[in-house]
């Protein structure tokens, strides 16, 4: 069957091709390719300085790519930013809010950028969504980190965007709230919103439909979490009556049957332990194949 | 351009000003204190009243210029550093709406500063102005305040951090004092200094104020009266065009 590329592009909320960006002598992005189908959650995972924030800022039209093509909902987010921005939401890395205003005042102010009427109803709805109804009149400077992050999320969501860019939304957030955040993100994706979420927390990639691993301005891998997981190697430990032996294999999915066959599973084998890597090990392996992997 | 967004920025700025009462008190009271210091200086030197007025009224205007210029120069660059400026842009606000909203918000403070300075001049120096002259002087001071705020926004657009704004402040404020005709007539300055004087709203404000001080109508020299708002519009246009989203 011939793929209808035009139709595919229509279904992609975001397409990035050969995007590069330099800050003076430093290359922040060096030829990034990525497509994000509509209504999916894509996780951008990588160490500090990998280029995740630069990529998100290019996608929201706050920066212009030096080279390459960027399309958000079929439009160039820089040259057509006024149009694109009516349909996107952006939650910056730190909770960028007015500290001396209340939760309600902050969300209302950012809502008024996009909405001409019905602001109060939309604000009430989004405040309910992030579960801050009781705190709505509190000043941001008196909030906990998690409450500020929820306020920032609400400010990004209030105009009901089709595409949502979240730059490290769960940084500094306690595990329970992280879980709630991901449940909310999934609800949004189920309602048709496309989400691009950058994260430090590698275990969070299991919540994503696709994971893009970013290092040194490049997307090293772009796959579903299951595919990533199966690409990892592991250890096979075989206990025999005569003793135990351990074998390292490159890819559990591809090589495990062959390794077991080669070892000859005779009656002396008492037990076989197959240990796969954690998601963190898989990603660290992709980021740094030489085993450094400490920078995330 | 959408008026509701200008109103939103102006309303937000006013909300923030209202929450910081100490700031409001300082902005309004500090100029009064400066006028009082000038009064003390003149009492000590015993300069005759007509000569005093030629200096103190423009100097009062200079205090308004100084106070309002610094306000926006610092506050807007703080928004850039905190990235709330970028967030405003991403959330649909446009350059002209942000600048207009800021001016509307801070105009409340600028009006208060103008009224207080003029009241202090009238009371401390016994200017003897009738209501018409006071209104004319107020309009000039108020226009100067708004234009100085636009100049503050323009300067803040040239800075990337709050620290970078600091060197710009004396660069604007000191030539405004030296070359705008407050101390010496602009005509006696070298041509390059005269050219610099034309870059400050203080020069244009002083031209009109001198008419009021001499007892003429502010519009008696129509060209000078028109130059102040025209200069203001140019600064406002430049401030809007240079308010860049990208750092």
CA distance A70 to A75: 8
Residue A99 lies in a domain: yes
Cα-to-chain-centroid distance, residue B247: 26
pLDDT < 50 stretches in chain B: none
CA distance A228 to A279: 8
Q: What is the pLDDT of residue B51?
A: 73
Sequence-ordered list of residues with C-beta below 8 angstroms from that of A210, at least 6 positions apart, any chain: A36, A40, A41, A42, A43, A222, A223, A224
B199 touches chain A (CB under 8 A): no
- Shared-domain flag, residues A96 and A26: yes
More confident residue, B169 or A49: B169
CB contact under 8 A, A113 and B20: no
Residue A28 lies in a domain: yes
Percent of chain A with pLDDT over 90: 53
The overall average pLDDT reported for chain A is 85
- Shared-domain flag, residues A30 and A140: yes
B12 touches chain A (CB under 8 A): yes
pLDDT at A293 over 50: no
Residue A110 lies in a domain: yes
Query: Which chain B residues contact residue A112 at CB under 8 A?
Result: 4-5, 8
Q: What is the mean pLDDT of residues A50-54?
A: 91
- Shared-domain flag, residues A56 and A199: yes
- Shared-domain flag, residues A153 and A242: no
Query: Computed over its alpha carbons, how large is the radius of gyration of chain B?
Result: 18
pLDDT at A292 over 60: no
Of B12, B82, B90, the CB nearest to A62: B90
Strand pairing class (A12-23; A67-72): antiparallel
CA distance B85 to B245: 7
A87, A161 Cβ separation under 8 angstroms: yes
Q: What is the pLDDT of residue A260?
A: 64
Query: Which chain B residues contact residue A111 at CB under 8 A?
Result: 91
Residue A296 lies in a domain: no
A209, A42 Cβ separation under 8 angstroms: yes
Strand pairing class (A12-23; A26-37): antiparallel
Task: Calculate how close chain B gets to A247, using CA atoms only, in Å.
Answer: 52
Q: What is the pLDDT of residue B242?
A: 92
- Shared-domain flag, residues A74 and A207: yes
Give the Cβ contact number of residue A44 at 10 Å.
26
Phi (first) and psi of residue A31, to 5 degrees: 90, 60
Q: What is the pLDDT of residue A2?
A: 43
Q: Tell me: the pLDDT tens digits for A163-176?
A: 999 999 988 788 88
Burial A135-147 (b: 16+ CB within 10 A, else e): bbeebbeebeebb
Residue A296 pLDDT level (bands cut at 50, 70, 90): very low
Q: What is the mean pLDDT of residues A213-230?
A: 79
CB contact under 8 A, B12 and A113: no
Number of compact structural domains in chain A: 2
- Shared-domain flag, residues A55 and A158: yes
CA distance A42 to A52: 12
Of B83, B92, B246, the CB nearest to A114: B92
CA distance A167 to A185: 13
Task: Calculate how close chain A gets to B205, using CA atoms only, in Å.
Answer: 35
Which domain covers residue A103, as residue numbers? 4-228
Give the residue on B whose Cα is nearest the Cα of A96.
B84
Question: Which of A178-192, A233-247, B66-80, B97-111 is least confident?
Answer: A233-247
Query: Which chain A residues contact residue B91 at CB under 8 A?
Result: 85, 90, 110-111, 113-114, 155, 159
- Shared-domain flag, residues A205 and A258: no
pLDDT at A51 over 80: yes
CA atoms within 13 A on the CB side of A81: 20
Q: What is the mean pLDDT of residues A227-256?
A: 72
CA distance A115 to A89: 13
Classify the complex by whether its ipTM is higher than 0.90, answering yes or no: no
More confident residue, A285 or B82: B82
Residue A83 lies in a domain: yes
Q: What is the dihedral of CA A25, A30, A36, A40, to 10 degrees?
A: -60
Q: What is the pLDDT of residue B246?
A: 67
Of A61, A94, A98, the CB nearest to B16: A98
Q: Which of A197, A213, A228 is the last residue of a domain?
A: A228
Give the residue on B whose Cα is nearest the Cα of A155.
B91
CB contact under 8 A, A61 and B84: no
- Shared-domain flag, residues A220 and A238: no
Q: What is the pLDDT of residue A235?
A: 76
Task: Calculate how close chain A gets to B113, using CA atoms only, in Å.
Answer: 23
Q: What is the pLDDT of residue B214?
A: 86
Residue A255 lies in a domain: yes
Q: Tell me: the pLDDT tens digits for A64-106?
A: 999 999 999 999 999 999 999 999 999 998 889 999 999 999 9
- Shared-domain flag, residues A136 and A48: yes
A132, A139 Cβ separation under 8 angstroms: no
CB contact under 8 A, B87 and A90: yes
Q: What is the pLDDT of residue A294?
A: 39
Task: Calculate how close chain B gets to A113, using CA atoms only, in Å.
Answer: 5
Residue A288 lies in a domain: no
Residue A285 lies in a domain: no
Q: What is the pLDDT of residue A231?
A: 64
B245 touches chain A (CB under 8 A): yes
Phi (first) and psi of residue B240, to 5 degrees: -70, -45
- Shared-domain flag, residues A133 and A85: yes
Burial B152-186 (b: 16+ CB within 10 A, else e): bbbbbbebeebeebeebbeebbebbbbbbbbeeeb
Domain of A68, CATH number, reads 3.40.50.300
A286 touches chain B (CB under 8 A): no
A165 touches chain B (CB under 8 A): no
- Shared-domain flag, residues A186 and A268: no
Of A64, A90, A100, the CB nearest to B16: A100
A250, A277 Cβ separation under 8 angstroms: no
Query: Which chain A residues contact residue B90 at CB under 8 A?
Result: 60-62, 85, 88, 90
Count interface pairs A-B at CB distance under 8 A.
Answer: 64
- Shared-domain flag, residues A212 and A262: no
């Amino acid at each position: 069957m011939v793929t209808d590329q035009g139709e595919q592009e229509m279904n992609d909320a975001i397409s990035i091709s050969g995007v590069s960006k330099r800050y003076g002598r430093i290359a922040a992005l060096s030829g990034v390719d990525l497509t994000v189908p509509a209504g999916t959650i894509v996780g951008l995972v990588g160490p500090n300085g990998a280029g995740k924030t630069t990529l998100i800022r290019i996608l929201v039209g706050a920066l212009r790519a030096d080279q390459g093509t960027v399309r958000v909902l079929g439009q160039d987010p820089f040259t057509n930013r006024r149009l694109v921005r009516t349909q996107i939401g952006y939650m910056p890395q730190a909770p960028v809010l007015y500290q001396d205003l209340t939760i309600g005042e902050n969300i209302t102010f950012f809502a008024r950028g996009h909405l001409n009427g019905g602001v109060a109803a939309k604000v009430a709805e989004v405040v309910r969504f992030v579960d801050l109804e009781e705190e709505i009149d509190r000043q941001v400077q008196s909030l906990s980190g998690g409450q500020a992050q929820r306020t920032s999320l609400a400010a990004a969501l209030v105009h009901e965007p089709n595409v949502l860019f979240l730059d490290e939304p769960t940084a500094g957030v306690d595990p329970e709230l992280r879980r709630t955040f991901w449940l909310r993100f999934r609800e949004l994706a189920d309602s048709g919103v496309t989400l691009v979420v950058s994260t430090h927390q590698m275990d969070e990639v299991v919540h994503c439909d696709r994971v893009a691993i970013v290092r040194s301005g490049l997307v090293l891998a772009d796959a579903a979490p299951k595919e990533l997981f199966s690409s990892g190697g592991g250890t096979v430990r075989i206990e025999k009556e005569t003793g135990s032996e351990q074998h390292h294999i490159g890819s559990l999915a591809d090589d495990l049957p062959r390794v077991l066959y080669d070892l000859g599973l005779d009656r002396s084998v008492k037990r076989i332990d197959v240990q796969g890597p954690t998601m963190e090990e898989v990603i660290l392996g992709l980021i740094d194949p030489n085993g450094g992997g400490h920078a995330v | 351009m959408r008026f509701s967004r200008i109103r939103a920025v102006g309303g937000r700025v006013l909300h923030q000003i209202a929450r910081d009462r100490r700031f409001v008190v300082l902005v309004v009271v500090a100029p009064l204190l400066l006028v009082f210091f000038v009064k003390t200086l003149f009492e000590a030197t015993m300069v005759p009243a007509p000569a005093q007025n030629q200096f103190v009224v423009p100097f009062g205007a200079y205090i308004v210029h100084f106070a309002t210029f610094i306000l926006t120069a610092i506050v807007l660059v703080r928004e850039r550093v905190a990235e709330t400026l970028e967030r405003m842009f991403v959330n649909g606000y446009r350059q002209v709406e942000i600048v207009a909203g800021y001016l509307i918000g801070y105009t409340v403070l600028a009006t208060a500063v103008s009224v207080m300075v003029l009241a202090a001049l009238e009371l401390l120096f016994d200017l003897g102005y009738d209501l018409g002259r006071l209104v004319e002087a107020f309009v000039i001071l108020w226009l100067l305040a708004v234009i100085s705020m636009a100049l503050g926004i323009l300067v803040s657009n040239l800075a990337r951090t709050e620290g970078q704004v600091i060197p710009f402040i004396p660069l604007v404020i000191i030539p405004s004092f030296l070359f705008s005709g407050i101390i010496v007539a602009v005509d006696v300055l070298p041509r390059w200094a005269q050219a610099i004087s034309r870059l400050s709203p203080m020069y244009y404000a002083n031209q009109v104020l001198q008419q009021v001080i001499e007892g003429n109508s502010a519009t008696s020299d129509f060209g000078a009266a028109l130059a102040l708002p025209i200069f203001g519009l140019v600064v406002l246009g430049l401030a809007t065009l240079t308010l860049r989203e990208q750092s």
